[in-house]
Structure 1
Amino acid sequence: MTHAPPPPLSSPSAAVRLRLVSQPAQGHVAQRIDGAWWPRSPDLATELPRLLAGLPHAWGQVTSVLVDEAVWSPFPNRLLVANQVVRLRRTTTQHSPSTVCLLAPGRGRWDLMVVPPAATDAEAGRLMGSMATALDVSVGWGVAVR
């Protein structure tokens, strides 16, 4: 098991680049997406603790994460984040765009689109905007930043 370093608390470069849908999608949605995450690097062991620290408290304790292993540098099967074991599971299924699935027992499941770390500000803005348009929630976005 790998121990994740705690995320820096106040550095602007440590802010989580995360946009969440403020309201759950209404009706049937073929691919449920709850937001978009723009990590700073392909190092999941470094990026995941920042993401988990920036999630809404109401989401509870995420204990399992499913990611597309092709997107990330090699990573362990388990990671200790804030004294909690988080199981990291891999998928080789090609998603377009790439997603990360967060599971919190008794609380729920959240799927986030992953913006490529190397994306420019303009590219990331377009990807996040196109996702909002596709989900018809362009006015329902909130920004979670820590």
Structure 2
Amino acid sequence: MPLPRLALTPEVSHGPLDGAWWPRCDSLELELPSLVAALEPDRGSTVRITVDAAQWPDPPHTIMAPGQVIAVDVTGSADEAHVITLDCDTVGRWVLLVVPPQEPADTAARLMAAAADPELHLGASTLLTR
């Protein structure tokens, strides 16, 4: 897979999101290895991912990536709709807005920029409804 389409908040996040991720498809098996590699540089680590059940139906429980194990947890919490949370061994926790793969490029670019803007302090639901 090519590099992930990712926008991160500069420095330390001060809001509900640390940025945004725009996957190319809805297959976690294809998409997660490149996302995890971009955020967790240490090989041999275990990364725990939490995803929204409505957005990712029937996800695998574990994904093997080169040098890493990705454990996938599913939530049905409305607070975590359209969000992916990555708990990484060496870099901590990332909470990212998931821009739906089918979004047009201009809409996705606006959503990613807004999610990574430390001044906005907006959650995923608010960003997607605007």
- Which bracket does the TM-score occupy, shorter chain normalised? 0.7 to 0.9
Give SS of 2:60's match: coil
Structure 2: runs of 5+ lacking an equivalent: 121-130
Equivalent of 1:126 in 91, 110, 125: 110
Q: Distance in 1 between matches of 2:25 and 2:57?
A: 9
Is the 1:43–1:73 Cα contact (8 Å) retained in structure 2? Answer: no
1:82 is aligned to 2:66: yes
Is the 2:52–2:81 Cα contact (8 Å) retained in structure 1? Answer: no
Equivalent of 1:98 in 82, 94, 111: 82
1:47 is aligned to 2:35: no
Is the 2:40–2:91 Cα contact (8 Å) retained in structure 1? Answer: no
Q: Which runs of 4+ in 1 moved over 6 A?
A: none
Superposition CA RMSD, Å: 2.4
Q: Distance in 1 between matches of 2:98 and 2:115?
A: 11
The structure where helix makes up a greater share of residues is 2
Larger radius of gyration: 1
The one-letter code sitting in structure 1 at the alignment partner of 2:58 is P
Structure 1: runs of 5+ lacking an equivalent: 1-6, 8-13, 138-146
Q: Label 1:61 to 1:127 Cα distance change in 2 as closer, same or farther (>3 A).
A: same
Equivalent of 1:72 in 56, 64, 88: 56
Is the 1:42–1:73 Cα contact (8 Å) retained in structure 2? Answer: no
The one-letter code sitting in structure 1 at the alignment partner of 2:27 is D
Q: Distance in 1 between matches of 2:4 and 2:28?
A: 14
Give SS of 2:78's match: coil
After superposition, give the CA deviation of every residue in 1:12-58 in whole Å (9 maximum; x if it has no partner).
Answer: xx2310011121135xx4x2x11110000111111101211222638
Give SS of 2:56's match: coil
Q: What's the TM-score, normalizing by structure 1?
A: 0.70
Paired positions, count: 119
Q: State the percentage of identical aligned residues.
A: 34
Deviation at 1:64, TM superposition (A): 0.5
Q: Distance in 1 between matches of 2:108 and 2:60?
A: 27
Moved more, 96-105 or 79-88: 96-105
Equivalent of 2:11 in 4, 23, 34: 23
1:136 is aligned to 2:124: no
